[in-house]
Structure 1
Amino acid sequence: MNQRGKTSGEFTGRHMLVIMLAFFGVIIAVNLTMASFANSSWSGLVVKNSYVASQEFNEKAAAGRAQAALGWSATMAFAKGEFIYSLVDKDGKPVRIDGAVAQFRRPITDVEDQSVALMKTGSGRAAAPISLRDGAWIVEVDADAGMATPYRDVRRVTIRDGVLQ
């Protein structure tokens, strides 16, 4: 009688099972890892209509380059419940602000979103009282500086202990 025993070089169903489990295990582990990274790094930025946003991108980029060419610089301050915005030209002289609108948005949710009209308080300055809680905010200021379009300034800021950091 010919008796067949297991030899070390024989490929069995168990070998195939281990290979398949290892293969799909690696794929599942990579997918879970990538999903975890994506979830933890999501900025919260949501565009209502991505097609429209993509069509407006070049226009907004051109307007941003034209604004940057002015060489103006702006400062934002928030303390004691008052937001102050100031604007100076490339020579350091205050730029006249006839009024401005500041929008305050949370990066992830719209529950605490606020908009406030800034009133002219002096040459190159505008301010308004507002109540902001500590944390991350996106501040968007559209200032009427005597140009055809408002001077637009968008920044991500942090409020800590009632003061802009």
Structure 2
Amino acid sequence: MAAKPLTGTKVLLMLVAFFGVVIGVNVTMMKLAIATLPGTEVDSPYAAGLVYDREISAAQDQAARKWKVSAHIERRADGNAVLQVEARDAADRPVTGLTFEGRLERPTDKRADLAVELAEAGSGVYRGNAASVAPGQWDLVIEGDAKGERVFLSRNRVILN
């Protein structure tokens, strides 16, 4: 039985097939990567840099107030989560009349972030519910506003089971 000779046409077809497979895999992987890209952290790094000094000043003002703000979040078996924030001033009196907002942010995917609306449930106690909270790691962000100005900001990593 004689072996078939390797011709130029066969070599050309093998090269075209090889590179066709490589290019096809690359295109598929590129499309999948672009489709799952969560996006950028900030839209404009330059604008974020300009805001930096104001953030430092706000953090210094917050530290000077010496408020004691504690938060408790609990994920229930049905997937809903309950968030409670208690705020006290430097003299240990309840801080009332603020507008607190909470956010549960996924560290790995901003598309999964959840807002938690907090309402004043008592003197210095604010409560809110979040629906369909998946288990795992979250960043709990709490912001307190007084008359349209942010007076409190906290960011903590929490694990919800």
- Give the C-alpha shift of residue 120 in structure 1: 0.6
Match of 2:17 in 1: none
SS of aligned partner of 2:58: helix
Does 2:90 align with 1:90? yes
Q: Deviations over 1:113-132 (max 9, x none)?
A: 11122011001111111132
Match of 1:73 in 2: 68
- Give the C-alpha shift of residue 156 in structure 1: 2.5
After TM superposition, list the pairs within 5 Å mapping 1:4-153 onto structure 2: 46-79=41-74, 80=76, 81-131=81-131, 132-144=133-145, 146=146, 149-153=149-153
Query: Given residue 70 of structure 1, which amino acid in structure 2 is its aligned partner?
Result: R
Structure 1 segments, 4+ long, off by >3 Å, are none
Task: Report % sequence identity.
Answer: 21
- Residues 156, 98 of structure 1: alpha-carbon distance in 2 compared, 3 angstrom cutoff: closer
Q: Deviations over 1:55-113 (max 9, x none)?
A: 11001101110111000021111124211111111122211144322122111212311
Q: For 2:87 and 2:111, how far apart are their aligned partners in 1?
A: 30
Rg comparison, structure with higher value:
1
Q: For 2:40 and 2:86, how far apart are their aligned partners in 1?
A: 27
- Give the C-alpha shift of residue 147 in structure 1: 5.5
Q: For 1:66 and 1:98, how far apart are their aligned partners in 2?
A: 16
Unaligned runs of 5+ in 2: 1-38
SS of aligned partner of 2:112: coil
TM-score norm. by structure 1 comes to 0.63
SS of aligned partner of 2:137: strand
Unaligned runs of 5+ in 1: 1-43
Number of residue pairs matched by the alignment: 117
Whether the 8 Å contact between 2:115 and 2:130 is mirrored in structure 1 is no
Query: Given residue 56 of structure 1, which amino acid in structure 2 is its aligned partner?
Result: V
- Give the C-alpha shift of residue 138 in structure 1: 1.8
- Residues 45, 83 of structure 1: alpha-carbon distance in 2 compared, 3 angstrom cutoff: farther
Q: For 1:153 and 1:84, how far apart are their aligned partners in 2?
A: 15
Query: Given residue 62 of structure 1, which amino acid in structure 2 is its aligned partner?
Result: S
Whether the 8 Å contact between 1:77 and 1:85 is mirrored in structure 2 is yes
Match of 1:4 in 2: none
Q: For 2:111 and 2:148, how far apart are their aligned partners in 1?
A: 33
